[in-house]
Amino acid sequence: MDAIDLSLVDLLRGNARLSYAELARQVGLSAPAVHERVGKLESSGVVLGYRADVAPEAIGLGVTALIGIVEDSGADSDDMLESLRVLPEIESCYFMAGVESFLLKARVGTIAELEQLIVRLNRTPGVASTRTAIALSTKWENRPQSVGPQPA
Amino acid sequence: MDAIDLSLVDLLRGNARLSYAELARQVGLSAPAVHERVGKLESSGVVLGYRADVAPEAIGLGVTALIGIVEDSGADSDDMLESLRVLPEIESCYFMAGVESFLLKARVGTIAELEQLIVRLNRTPGVASTRTAIALSTKWENRPQSVGPQPA
DNA sequence: ACTCTCCGTGGACGCCATCGACCTGAGCCT
DNA sequence: AGGCTCAGGTCGATGGCGTCCACGGAGAGT
């Protein structure tokens, strides 16, 4: 992970569809060199994947909610995790410090679907209680912060 | 937005670096047709961009926190938003229902930087109070849920 | 029925991805 | 010091891809 790797990561976080040739121009290496570096970043787990950023309302996921989960005393967190992982509506899952062990970000199409999700969560073994906060709007999300040197 | 557009969105949410030729094969159209459809999805604001998904610890952003903000009565939310937008550590920002008007997801390198961020937030005009919860680990994040027809 | 429009296909051409061969400099052993 | 080894780069070649263009068929409106 030298400065060039950081620049590559920055560039790809900004636009994952840049060609290797373009990346090469930006960092001042040849295309094959960039190709090899990016390949290593991928296989070493630095770059986990490439994703299109899509407006959720446009694909019928207009309701965003953040749900905190309090675990039963004696519940097994690993089992719970597996139960959560199965629910596709849960886009993100954090294990938290504090009373609420998990914090979930969920996206659904309607409030009715959110209700169903919450019911299902409360029925999940190990869940003592849930607390749901609804996002009225997403101002921005997953904005990449630059880590490399400033782009000259 | 027909079924093919949804499939394209699904495919690109799964892997934003798929070539147009590959997308074309998957949806059963020609490459130019896919190229045009994707271009329209981009310019109509359905596809907002393409981002590499990077392991945050690998780039020195090992501390994740969720911060709720309570606004002063009479504060201007738009001004606050601009103040928040300027802080690069804030990766996501939701406008919430409930006592806390905003919910932020922030990533920093160290607890000390988190402390500085919280101090800055509390000094921001319009902020009455903040509440910070620290994520001990990110189980997963921004998992795309499939919206198209099941991939046959 | 004619035509307009939309949306697709197929062909062409230049650029890109990717492979292999070779080069160079750093570090280390003798 | 000399030379081995290896990591990591460049260069050149080739096949596939991105992208532009001209053309064609289906459906709606008159």
Residue A134 carries which DSSP code?
E
Does residue A106 share a domain with residue A37? no
Which candidate, A17, A5, A94, places its Cα nearest to that of A52? A17
Predicted confidence at residue B1, as pLDDT, reads 86
Does residue A67 share a domain with residue A34? no
Whether the Cβ atoms of residue B29 and residue B36 lie closer than 8 Å to each other: no
Q: What is the pLDDT of residues A2-50, one digit of tens each?
A: 999 999 999 999 999 999 999 999 999 999 999 999 999 999 999 999 9
Put simply, whether B149 touches A (Cβ < 8 Å) is no
**Is 50 exceeded by the pLDDT of residue A152?**
no
Does residue A61 share a domain with residue A32? no
Mean pLDDT of B126-151: 90
Whether the Cβ atoms of residue B49 and residue A53 lie closer than 8 Å to each other: yes
Q: Strand D positions with any atom < 7 Å from protein CB?
A: 8-12, 16-22
Confidence band, pLDDT 50/70/90 cuts, at residue A1: confident
Q: For residue B77, give the chain A residue with the closest CA.
A: A139
Confidence band, pLDDT 50/70/90 cuts, at residue A53: very high
Predicted confidence at residue B152, as pLDDT, reads 43
Nearest to B134 among A55, A90, A96 (CB): A96
Predicted confidence at residue B103, as pLDDT, reads 98
Does residue B100 share a domain with residue B38? no
User: Domain containing B12 — which CATH number?
Assistant: 1.10.10.10
Contact A139 B95 (CB under 8 A): yes
Cβ neighbours around A87 below 10 Å, total = 15
Put simply, whether B141 touches A (Cβ < 8 Å) is yes
Q: Which amino acid is at A81?
A: L
Does residue A62 share a domain with residue A37? no
Q: 3-state DSSP call for residue A136? A: strand
User: Integer distance in angstroms from CA B111 to C1' C9?
Assistant: 58
Q: What's chain A's average pLDDT?
A: 95
Q: Residue A126: how many CA atoms within 13 Å on its side-chain side?
A: 15
**Is 80 exceeded by the pLDDT of residue B127?**
yes
Domain of residue A82, residue span? 56-135
Does residue A60 share a domain with residue A36? no
User: Domain containing A129 — which CATH number?
Assistant: 3.30.70.920
Does residue B63 share a domain with residue B11? no
Mean pLDDT of B137-149: 90
**Is 50 exceeded by the pLDDT of residue B52?**
yes
- Looking at the 3D structure of chain A, how many domains does it have? 2
Residue B119 carries which DSSP code?
H
Contact B139 A52 (CB under 8 A): no
**Is 90 exceeded by the pLDDT of residue B86?**
yes
Q: 3-state DSSP call for residue B138? A: strand
C-alpha triplet B81, B85, B87: angle, nearest 5°:
125
**Is 80 exceeded by the pLDDT of residue B96?**
yes
Mean pLDDT of A92-118: 98
Interface residue of A15, A94, A95, A131 to substitute, partner B, most B CBs within 10 Å: A94
Mean pLDDT of A70-80: 93
Predicted confidence at residue A150, as pLDDT, reads 59
